[in-house]
């Protein structure tokens, strides 16, 4: 395949060439009738573009997210029409909620039969409108290059997000001479904005009056590459930093100003600090209900500055005193420069807040994130904590990426695995998609072949995309799974215990309490020819974790844990820091 001017190429060849031109090196693609021409094209570019065959389209979509979330580049997945395409819906919704740039390419029935309820026809663009940043149904082969150019621009600029491109089969087959540098037609799309000096002066003025400032940092810090600028600014003004789930890694966990995660399962000290603060600097966040609890009570003692690249987030859930539309990375750089100028002039940045720092440190010392170990059983938090410490002792944290499913294990991973750098933690935050852990780990591993990628998972979530073990084996993707197997849907069980008098509403996954743990994940892993081991004795924990991280290929460590543990602290849904549950 070449780009020679004047040589007619098929639409499929043109689309694949566009992917290569946009720097794509991996595609997660599951074939079918309506996408076969595209797959035929992919077979001719294997030296430039690796095609991974997931075992379910949803796995392909989540893998694309794992790739995108750990690189900041576009992750690409492809499927056929109809059921193949609808299997992308969850992945796209997930990517939309967490502002993740993935491209889903779907085959579609040929244009003459669109709208006739043809075999494997779904109006996937109609279905996906609300769960994508943008969408295209390509009508003519001539439009492919322009659509691809626009799609990559849209996915990666402003607030990142997913795009779906639906490509009818006849559009893939028809041959034309392509123009690889077409103009874009995006008159209404102007995603870039840098906050003005006047806007940022207001922030420094509020800071000057503040005695209890705090930063609430979210996924926007990571998406905009602002982690080092956040650190520089926070250190300059000595402001403590609390992070959202998606923000973890945006500020180093071992930093003396770090208050770890805030919100429903955030640290006691971060939630106390947010509640008492007189100035909240909300950076790249969206005041999600899992962070705020009862939104009218959230940070109500403080002025609020909100900086975000998406203006529709400003004043959406919480009214800000100073709403600023702009790139948070540029804003932090500009703020740091302006702060330097003030410091050089002999001014103070705040109204003096040594007292506040002492208070925050006391809260952190008094009520750290903790768990009680028990004799003869491995506590799930303990397994995560030991994994973290073993990697730290081996100086491998920088080269470790953690992904998760959704539920208790996810929250414990956020609490007990300490992230020092951005793009090391991959988790489904906004949508909370079970089954996310293994395929997203696959995508992360392919993007980072030399790193250790560990899916910290629960037995419910793991089972939802367990078929991807086949992808890991056949494509030699050495992902590790730390499976915290409690035979229950632990988070729902926890809510049942707290709010439904412990009545179990279909939250038990096992085969009966007198039976061995079910399913037998070791036999399953063996069937996929993936290494596996099962443990339940705390004495075996360290050795098994080391064996897992040292293993060469994909590996499943099935850790049998009790289901009675609760994720604490917890601010129940819609409540406030006053209602925080600590035991």
Partner 1 sequence: MRHVLSALVQNQPGVLAHISGMLASRGFNIESLAVGETENPNLSRITFVVQGSDSELEQVRKQLDKVVTVVRVQDISSENFVERDLMLVKVQAPAPQRVEITMLVEMFRGRVVDIGVDTLMIEISGQESKVEAFIDLMRPYGILELARTGRIALVRGKGLVEGKN
130 is a contact residue toward partner 1 (CB under 8 A) = yes
Active site residue 119: yes
> Between residues 154 and 277, which has the closer beta carbon with respect to partner 1?
154
> Between residues 295 and 377, which has the closer beta carbon with respect to partner 1?
295
51-55, long-range: CB within 8 Å, 24+ apart, which pairs?
Answer: 51/26, 51/27, 52/26, 52/27, 52/28, 52/442, 52/446, 52/471, 52/475, 53/29, 53/471, 53/474, 53/475, 54/28, 54/30, 54/439, 54/442, 54/468, 54/471, 55/30, 55/467, 55/468, 55/470, 55/471
Q: How far is the CB of 328 from partner 1 (least distance, A)?
A: 17
- Count Cβ atoms below 10 Å from residue 376 Cβ, excluding itself: 8
346 is a contact residue toward partner 1 (CB under 8 A) = no
Q: How far is the CB of 502 from partner 1 (least distance, A)?
A: 35
Where does this chain touch partner 1 (CB under 8 A) — which range of 182-190, 326-334, 437-445, 498-506? 182-190
For partner 1 (CB under 8 A), the number of binding residues is 22
183 is a contact residue toward partner 1 (CB under 8 A) = no
Active site residue 169: yes
DSSP string, 290-356: HHHSSGGGTTTTSEEEEEES-GGGTTTSS--SEEEES-HHHHHHHHHHHHHHHHHTT--SSS--HHH
184 is a contact residue toward partner 1 (CB under 8 A) = no
> Between residues 188 and 512, which has the closer beta carbon with respect to partner 1?
188
CB-based contacts of 576: which residues, under 8 Å, 6+ apart?
A: 275, 293, 294, 297, 298
Nearest to 467 by CA among 524, 517, 416, 429: 524
Q: How far is the CB of 427 from partner 1 (least distance, A)?
A: 25
341 is a contact residue toward partner 1 (CB under 8 A) = no
Where does this chain touch partner 1 (CB under 8 A) — which range of 23-31, 188-196, 368-376, 423-431? 188-196
190 is a contact residue toward partner 1 (CB under 8 A) = yes
Distance CA 147, CA 170 (A): 17
At residue 188, the 3 state secondary structure works out as: coil
Q: How far is the CB of 201 from partner 1 (least distance, A)?
A: 24
Where does this chain touch partner 1 (CB under 8 A) — which range of 132-140, 225-233, 245-253, 493-501? 132-140
Q: What is the DSSP letter of 183?
A: P
Instruction: Say which of 133, 149, 169, 418 is annotated catalytic.
Output: 169
Instruction: Say which of 491, 494, 521, 565 is annotated catalytic.
Output: 491
* β-sheet bridge partners, residue 467: none
**What does the angle CA 431 – CA 476 – CA 448 come to, to the nearest 5 degrees?**
60
Pick from 186, 295, 492, 522 the residue near partner 1 by CB under 8 A: 186
- Count Cβ atoms below 10 Å from residue 59 Cβ, excluding itself: 31
126 is a contact residue toward partner 1 (CB under 8 A) = yes
> Between residues 130 and 511, which has the closer beta carbon with respect to partner 1?
130
296 is a contact residue toward partner 1 (CB under 8 A) = no
Pick from 143, 228, 289, 310 the residue near partner 1 by CB under 8 A: 310
At residue 128, the 3 state secondary structure works out as: helix
Distance CA 341, CA 329 (A): 19
Where does this chain touch partner 1 (CB under 8 A) — which range of 169-177, 212-220, 306-314, 517-525? 306-314
125 is a contact residue toward partner 1 (CB under 8 A) = yes
- Count Cβ atoms below 10 Å from residue 453 Cβ, excluding itself: 28
Is the distance from CB of 240 to CB of 215 less than 8 angstroms? yes
Q: How far is the CB of 316 from partner 1 (least distance, A)?
A: 6
Q: How far is the CB of 129 from partner 1 (least distance, A)?
A: 5
Q: How far is the CB of 191 from partner 1 (least distance, A)?
A: 10
Phi, psi of 25 (to 5 degrees): -115, -10
Where does this chain touch partner 1 (CB under 8 A) — which range of 72-80, 128-136, 234-242, 363-371? 128-136
> Between residues 129 and 504, which has the closer beta carbon with respect to partner 1?
129
286 is a contact residue toward partner 1 (CB under 8 A) = no
418 is a contact residue toward partner 1 (CB under 8 A) = no
Active site residue 419: no
Q: How far is the CB of 330 from partner 1 (least distance, A)?
A: 20
Is the distance from CB of 158 to CB of 187 less than 8 angstroms? no
Distance CA 487, CA 482 (A): 15
Omega before 569 within 30 of 0, i.e. cis: yes
Where does this chain touch partner 1 (CB under 8 A) — which range of 13-21, 79-87, 236-244, 309-317? 309-317
Nearest to 377 by CA among 455, 462, 485: 485
Q: One symbol per residue from 134 to 163: x for binding partner 1 (CB under 8 A), - otherwise; what is it?
A: xx-x----------------x---------
252-260, long-range: CB within 8 Å, 24+ apart, which pairs?
Answer: 252/420, 252/421, 253/418, 253/419, 253/420, 254/418, 254/420, 255/231, 259/214, 259/360, 259/364, 260/369, 260/415
Q: How far is the CB of 183 from partner 1 (least distance, A)?
A: 11
Task: Give me the active site residues, please.
Answer: 57, 119-120, 169, 491
- Interacting residue ranges for partner 1, rule: CB under 8 A: 125-126, 129-130, 133-135, 137, 154, 185-190, 310-312, 314-316, 319
């Amino acid at each position: 395949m070449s780009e020679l001017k004047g040589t007619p190429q098929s639409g499929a060849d043109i689309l694949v060439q566009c992917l290569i031109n946009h720097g794509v090196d991996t595609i997660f693609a599951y074939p079918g009738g309506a996408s076969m021409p595209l797959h035929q094209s992919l077979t001719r570019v294997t030296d430039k573009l690796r095609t991974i065959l997931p075992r379910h389209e949803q796995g392909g979509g989540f893998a694309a997210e794992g790739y995108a979330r750990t690189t900041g580049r576009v992750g690409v997945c492809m499927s056929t029409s109809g059921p193949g395409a609808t299997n992308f819906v969850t992945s796209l919704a997930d990517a939309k909620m967490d502002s993740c740039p993935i491209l889903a390419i779907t085959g579609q029935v040929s244009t003459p039969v669109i709208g006739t309820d043809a075999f494997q026809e779904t109006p996937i663009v109609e279905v996906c409108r609300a769960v994508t940043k943008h969408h295209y149904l390509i009508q003519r082969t001539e439009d492919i290059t322009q659509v691809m150019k626009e799609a990559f621009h849209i996915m990666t600029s402003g607030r990142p997000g997913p795009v779906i491109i639906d490509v009818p089969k006849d559009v893939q087959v028809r041959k034309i001479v392509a123009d690889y540098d077409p103009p874009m037609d995006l008159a209404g799309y102007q995603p870039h904005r840098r906050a003005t000096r006047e806007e940022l002066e207001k922030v420094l003025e509020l800071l000057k009056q503040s005695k209890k400032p705090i930063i609430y940092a979210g996924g926007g810090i990571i998406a905009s590459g602002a982690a080092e600028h956040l650190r520089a600014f926070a250190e300059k003004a000595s402001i403590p930093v609390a992070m959202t789930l998606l923000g973890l890694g945006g500020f180093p966990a071992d930093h003396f100003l770090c208050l770890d995660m805030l919100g429903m399962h955030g640290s006691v000290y971060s939630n106390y600090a947010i509640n008492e603060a007189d100035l909240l600097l909300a950076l790249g966040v969206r005041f999600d209900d899992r962070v705020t609890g009862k939104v009218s009570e959230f940070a109500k003692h403080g002025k609020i500055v909100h900086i975000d690249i998406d203006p529709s987030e400003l004043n959406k859930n919480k009214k800000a005193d100073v709403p600023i539309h702009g790139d948070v990375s540029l804003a932090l750089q500009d703020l740091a420069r302006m702060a330097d100028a003030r410091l050089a002039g002999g001014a103070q940045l705040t109204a003096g807040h040594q007292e506040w720092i002492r208070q925050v440190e006391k809260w952190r010392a008094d009520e750290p994130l903790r768990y009680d170990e028990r004799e003869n059983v491995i506590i799930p938090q303990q397994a995560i904590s030991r994994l973290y410490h073993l990697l730290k002792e081996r100086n491998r944290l920088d080269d470790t990426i953690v992904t998760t499913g959704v539920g208790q294990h996810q929250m414990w991973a956020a609490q007990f695995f300490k992230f020092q750098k951005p793009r090391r933690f991959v988790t489904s935050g906004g949508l909370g998609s079970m089954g996310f852990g293994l395929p997203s780990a696959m995508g992360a591993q392919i993007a980072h072949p030399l790193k250790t990628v560990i899916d910290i998972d629960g037995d419910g979530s793991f089972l939802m995309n367990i078929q991807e073990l086949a992808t890991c084996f056949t494509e030699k993707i050495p992902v590790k799974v730390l499976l915290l197997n409690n035979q229950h849907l632990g988070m729902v069980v926890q809510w049942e215990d707290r709010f439904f008098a412990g009545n179990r509403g279909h939250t038990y996954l096992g085969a009966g309490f007198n039976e061995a743990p079910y399913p037998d994940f070791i036999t399953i892993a063996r069937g996929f020819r993936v290494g596996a081991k099962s443990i339940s004795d705390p004495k075996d924990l360290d050795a098994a974790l080391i064996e897992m991280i040292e293993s060469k290929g994909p590996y499943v460590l099935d850790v049998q844990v009790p289901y009675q543990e609760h994720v604490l602290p917890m601010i129940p849904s819609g409540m406030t820091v006053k209602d925080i549950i600590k035991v």
